[in-house]
């Protein structure tokens, strides 16, 4: 049986960041409204049933000062999303601070596998980079092209209602992210704001700087790769950062720390990410086995890999797992920044990829 066709719509938003937010909110209004209760009832209730929606919103609102200081333009966008969707700003902040709400209680979900390769590792020397995003089943997401009045245009994918941190821009910068589990979280800049800020930079050094110098709220891994072959991985925490350089022009990352001095603090094996070590090893193995042949087509095949199913690189829904751990790969993205192209799919084991261009 063949894979299902991919009828994903590419939304395009232009103008000031507030106008972009308003257009986003209007275009995805129903989905954004529904996601408030998805987060509360499907994501948080199974693990922190005692925390009310009001408490989650109250916690998310505490990030406002940090967002305004770090990226006032994205505060404008968030306000615009709320206006366009006809929602209180607090609900939009809750959705965009959802990965940080372990500030309210210890909460970790999902698991992602990212990669990048360039130079001698690839078939034509061009950079190829991407990831699978694993999350709770039923999450709604959208592909979008954002063209601000000032700064690079962005092509990427996001859970509906959230900012975009998975994708590439028209200056040849790609950015991807993986959740990490660290024993400390603070009221800082939400990871989605950091990720979109990185995607708004004109170069890899500037993207790295805006990540490294951020007072981040939680631990997160950022993988950035560019059209000129530069790539680096940065594991950020509220305390310190670790850097990982490519090996033979290949980078892979899942949901555990690889920096030696951060590994003693890693809690991935105690939460939902015990398969992270296998996913990272498998992705690295696949890329090494095809060294010098790597391109977007091969990368998409790797992202479909189901070894270890249901918790492989391409995760699948497993009704036998506890509700809090049920999910899988909800979307997949592969980019070639030099060409300004992205291939995006829902779970790629079930759906075809669709090509989009900046």
- For residues 84 and 179, membership in a common domain is answered with no
Structure tokens at 75: 């505060």
- For residues 65 and 141, membership in a common domain is answered with no
What Cα–Cα distance (Å) separates residue 311 from each residue in 262, 276, 327, 350? 25, 9, 9, 15
Q: 213: which residues sit within 8 A by CB, 6+ positions away?
A: none
The domain boundary, picked from 103, 122, 147, lies at 103
> Per the domain annotation, does 3 fall within a domain?
no
> Per the domain annotation, does 5 fall within a domain?
no
Q: What is the CATH number of the domain that holds 153?
A: 3.60.60.10
Strand order in the sheet with 173-179: 10-15, 141-148, 154-159, 166-169, 173-179, 220-226, 231-236, 241-244
- For residues 154 and 259, membership in a common domain is answered with yes
> Per the domain annotation, does 198 fall within a domain?
yes
- For residues 172 and 74, membership in a common domain is answered with no
Give the number of other CB atoms < 10 A from CB of residue 152.
20
pTM of the model: 0.95
Q: What is the CATH number of the domain that holds 98?
A: 1.10.10
For helices 89-96 and 72-85, give the axis angle rounded to 10 degrees. Answer: 120
- For residues 166 and 81, membership in a common domain is answered with no
> Per the domain annotation, does 33 fall within a domain?
yes
- For residues 323 and 239, membership in a common domain is answered with yes
- Tell me the residue range of the domain where 284 lies: 111-357
> Per the domain annotation, does 302 fall within a domain?
yes
- For residues 196 and 311, membership in a common domain is answered with yes
> Per the domain annotation, does 223 fall within a domain?
yes
- For residues 99 and 120, membership in a common domain is answered with no
> Per the domain annotation, does 1 fall within a domain?
no
- For residues 115 and 83, membership in a common domain is answered with no
What single string gives the DSSP state of each residue in 24-47?
Answer: HHHHTHHHHHHHHHIIIIIIITTT
- For residues 290 and 265, membership in a common domain is answered with yes
The domain boundary, picked from 66, 85, 103, lies at 103
Query: What is the count of structural domains for the chain?
Result: 2
The domain boundary, picked from 81, 103, 125, lies at 103
Structure tokens at 340: 């300004």
- For residues 55 and 161, membership in a common domain is answered with no
Could you report the per-residue pLDDT of 177-196, keeping only the tens digit for each? 999 989 888 989 999 999 99
Structure tokens at 296: 């977007």
- For residues 138 and 18, membership in a common domain is answered with no
> Per the domain annotation, does 4 fall within a domain?
no
pLDDT lower than 50: segments of the chain:
104-107
Rounded distance, CA 111 to CA 327, Å? 10
Look at residue 104 in the predicted model and tell me its pLDDT: 44
Look at residue 271 in the predicted model and tell me its pLDDT: 60
Which residue in 255, 269, 235, 358 sits closest to 313, CA to CA?
Answer: 255
């Amino acid at each position: 049986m063949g894979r299902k066709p991919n009828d994903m719509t590419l939304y395009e938003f232009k103008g000031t960041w507030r106008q972009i937010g308003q257009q986003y909110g209007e275009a995805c209004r129903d989905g954004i409204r529904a996601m408030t209760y998805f987060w509360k009832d499907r994501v948080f209730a199974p693990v922190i049933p005692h925390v009310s929606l009001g408490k989650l919103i109250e916690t998310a609102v505490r990030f406002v000062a940090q967002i305004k200081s770090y990226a006032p333009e994205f505060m404008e966008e968030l306000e615009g999303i709320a206006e366009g969707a006809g929602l209180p700003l607090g609900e939009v902040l809750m959705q965009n601070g959802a990965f940080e709400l372990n500030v309210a209680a210890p909460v970790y979900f999902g698991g992602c596998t990212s990669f990048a390769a360039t130079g001698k590792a690839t078939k034509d020397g061009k950079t190829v980079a991407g990831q699978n995003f694993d999350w709770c089943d039923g999450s709604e997401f959208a592909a979008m092209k954002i063209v601000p009045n000032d700064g690079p245009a962005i092509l990427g994918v996001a859970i509906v209602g959230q900012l975009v941190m998975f994708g590439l821009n028209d200056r040849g910068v790609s950015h991807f992210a993986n959740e990490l589990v660290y024993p400390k979280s603070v009221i800082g800049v939400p990871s989605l704001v950091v990720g979109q800020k990185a995607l708004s930079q004109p170069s890899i050094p500037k993207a790295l700087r805006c990540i490294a110098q951020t007072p981040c709220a939680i631990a997160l891994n950022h993988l950035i790769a560019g059209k000129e072959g530069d790539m680096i991985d940065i594991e950020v925490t509220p305390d310190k950062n670790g850097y990982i350089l490519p090996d033979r022009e290949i980078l892979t990352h899942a949901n555990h720390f690889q920096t030696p001095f951060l590994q003693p603090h890693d809690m991935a094996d105690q939460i939902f990410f015990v398969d992270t070590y296998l996913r990272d090893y498998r992705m690295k193995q696949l890329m090494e086995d095809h060294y010098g042949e790597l391109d977007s087509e091969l990368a998409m095949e790797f992202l479909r890999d189901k070894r270890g199913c249901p918790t492989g690189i391409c995760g699948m829904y497993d009704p036998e797992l506890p509700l809090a751990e049920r999910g899988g790969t909800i979307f997949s993205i592969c980019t070639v920044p030099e060409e300004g192209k992205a291939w995006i799919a829902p779970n790629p084991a079930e759906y075809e990829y669709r090509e989009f261009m900046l």
